[in-house]
Amino acid sequence: MSAKLEERLLTLFILLVVLGMTAVSTGYRAPARLVPLVVGVLTSCLFLGVTVTVFVPRFRRRTQKAEPIPLETFPETWEDEDTEQTAAQRHSEFKIIGSLVVLTAVTYVIGFLPSIFLYVLLFLCFQSKESWWMALAVAGSVLAVVYGVFVQALHVPLHSGIF
Amino acid sequence: MFDSELFAATIGTMLGWPGVFYLLSGSVIGMVFGAIPGLSGTTAIVVLIPMTFGMDPVPAMLWLGSAYGASTYGGAIPAILINTPGEPPNAATILDGYPMARKGQAGIALAAAATASTLGGVIGLLVTFLMIPVLSSMIMAFSYQEFFAMALLGLCVIAVVGEGTLLKGLAAGGLGLMLSFIGYDPLTSVLRYTLGIEYLWDGIAVVPALFGLLAVAEITDLLVEQKTIMEPDVEEEEEGQVWEGIKVTFRNLPLVIRSSAVGTIVGAIPGVGGTVAGFMAYMQAKQTCKDNEGFGKGDVRGVIAPEAANDAKEGGALLPTLAFGIPGSSAMAVFLGALTLHGLDTGQDIFLTNLDVVYMLIVALLGSHMVAAVFGLSLAKKVAILTRIRPALYGPTIFVVCLIGSFALRNSFGDVVVTVLFGILGYELRKFGYSRIALILGLLLGTMAETAFRQSLMTDQGMAGFVTRPISLVLLVLAAIIVLAPYVKNYLHRRRRLVGQA
């Protein structure tokens, strides 16, 4: 998937969310819907504008020139619209975001302490390509600090899993 | 009213034994709590309060005050180094602090933050003392209309933050506002946008969302791009950064004073919140400083202004807490609880019968700012090394700390899920040039703006109140100027260029 397509999908997704929220707000009682409705309509208009600039390159260039605030540095996406992210980057993106989602799910099942140890260990070994010894040392240190600060000192009842 | 002998004796107590121990240990604890995302100065006080039960009120206040005073600087460290504010009031520091770190100027930014924090703290307390005669009338002058105008002014920062295009910035701000409406309607208790999920009844927790949007998104980007925080083509100046940070802060002393005044006034108004102080100070810096094109790209003045305001606001918040028993911030509410636990009453009584406690709180805040500055300046160079380490080494640790920090806030696993979801959203927004700060501002100020707006409509004055009340009118005019200024400037610039060509 190219960066351009990804951006279009993101913009459309947010636009649909905002439109949906605006539509839903019409069903609330009068005082509760006033501000969400007004903000929702305005935000929908803004995202419609963004959608137009994302889908029609001519408008994108125009807004870029007209706006007083310079663009953030993400040059490959803006300067050359057809540029695709490298396969390696895309792969890495999926792996990192995927690992975060898996970490959350695993934490829910087995609890914080075992899951953070495993996550740091496996991440350092397989993603960062560190040696097992280094990974073990870092994962152990993180576990010790988390246990010392949050469990022992602050008495935070860390989630311990569903079993 | 001012008892110079007692004040001197209080300073003597702080610098004697065991006073100096409470000052140093409290300051270190405060800095550590401020620097760890998820913890805060308020958490530090909450943790320390049980340990003060057996203590006299004066050393207890010294310990608690020291911990709180140093925590605000602690929050600036992750804001500058990993684009994540240790506490929400440090959010404005990331606008220029993080770009400075990327340019290899983390040492300058950290040193400037430490110096500005100390100066801001001292000025805040001094301004507070000077304001005692007019403070009560000033606080009373603030009503719903003014609260709304303040929130609107805070939202106007969206127009001046330099991430992404203006259209996308405004859209992201709108999205943030929409997300802030999730949960119970504050005035009618109608459930809005909760999709039947019980967790959403209280709305989206701001701090976990902040961790996701900033820390998780930023670290994900660094890991994907496989780059260090400091940009690879930048050569860091090894020597003199700390000294340069101190010098540049003193060179901008008028800015420090202005920002501290903003912080003190905002801090003294209960209910406005410290985050507004940082953003308002940033905005006034951008509007009033010459050569402001560098703001948002790593201008040290963008670090000095919010940091000075952040620490000054604590001085401002202290006085209404002590004088009227009205806490100016969440931390002051906890302080109020601590005073009650030690059998102390607020209001006129505390100034008549326990003036030593009041003085101790003030000197503890002053002393902790000094200690934080010394620690901050001596550690700045060492801490800045993080910007040169491969993110693959510390990235997973930061993810883990963010998730546990989110959980620790309310012991809710839902907050962990919010952090991850907002992390993914933040990464995508960052990638395609949407302003995450605008979204955060909307999320932070949405509830306050909506509540104040609707409460204003319920008053006798209705809509007219916004323009008939002088403070509200001034704030609204300021907001309009801030939004329109870039366009007017652009128009004038284009006109001058056309005239020049002709």
Give the Å distances, CA to CA, from B20 to A7, B6, B68, B259: 56, 18, 16, 30
Give the one of A21, A34, A107 whose C-beta lies nearest to B416's C-beta: A107
Amino acid at B158: I
Cis bond before residue A57 (omega within 30° of 0) = no
The mean of the pLDDT values for chain B is 81
Would you place residue A76 in the very low, low, confident or very high pLDDT band (cuts 50, 70, 90)? very low
Most confidently modeled range among A59-68, B237-246, B440-449: B440-449
Query: Using CA atoms, how far apart are residues B477 and B485, in angstroms rounded to an integer?
Result: 12
Q: Where are the alpha helices (DSSP H) in B325-460?
A: 330-341, 348-353, 355-383, 391-410, 413-431, 436-458
What value does the mean pLDDT take over residues B167-185?
90
With beta carbons less than 8 A apart as the criterion, state whether B19 and B13 touch. yes
B-chain CB neighbours of A116 within 8 Å are 400, 403-404
Q: What is the reported pLDDT for B2?
A: 63
The better pLDDT of the pair A19, B188 is held by A19
Res. B420 pLDDT band, cuts 50 70 90:
very high
Q: Between A32, A77, A123, which is nearest B185 by CB?
A: A32
What are the tens digits of pLDDT across the range A132-162? 998 999 999 999 988 988 888 778 888 888 8
Q: What average pLDDT score do residues B6-17 get? A: 82
Record: contact A68-B486, CB cut-off 8 A: yes
Q: How far is CA B330 from CA B117, B190, B279, B322, B482, in A?
A: 19, 26, 18, 14, 29
Residue with tokens 């101790």: B360
Residues of A in Cβ contact (< 8 Å) with B190 = 28-29, 32
Phi then psi dihedrals of residue B183, to 5 deg? 110, -165
Nearest Cα residue in chain B from A43:
B174
Question: What is the pTM (predicted TM-score) of this model?
Answer: 0.77
Alpha carbon separation from A120 to B38, B98, B359 (Å, rounded): 19, 25, 47
In the numeric block, which tokens belong to residue B125? 């307390």
The pLDDT assigned to B240 comes to 72
Q: Do B397 and A78 touch (CB under 8 A)?
A: no
* Stronger pLDDT, A24 or B103, i.e. the higher one: A24
In this prediction, residue B164 carries a pLDDT of 62
Decide if B162 touches A, using CB distance below 8 A.
yes
Residue of chain B whose alpha carbon sits nearest to that of A61: B165
Opening angle at CA B298, ends B122 and B244, nearest 5: 55
Q: If you average pLDDT over residues B351-358, what whole number do you get?
A: 78
Cβ–Cβ gap A64/B165 under 8 Å: yes
With beta carbons under 8 A apart, name residues in chain B contacting A123: 395-396
The answer to whether residue A117 neighbours chain B at the CB level (below 8 Å) is: no
Name the range with the highest mean pLDDT among B47-61, B123-137, B469-483.
B469-483
Check: CB of residue B191 under 8 Å from CB of residue B183: yes
| Rounded mean pLDDT, B15-35 | 85
Give the model confidence (pLDDT) of B473-502 as tens digits: 988 888 888 777 777 877 887 888 888 777
DSSP string across B51-86: GGTTS-HHHHHHHHHHHHHHHHHHHHHHHHHHS--S
State yes or no: pLDDT of B266 exceeds 50. Answer: yes
Asked if B165 has any chain A CB less than 8 Å from its own CB, the reply is yes
CB-based contact B181 A39, cutoff 8 Å: yes
CB within 8 A of A58, min separation 6: which ones?
A: none
CB hemisphere CA count around B95 (13 angstroms)? 37
B230 in helix, strand or coil? coil
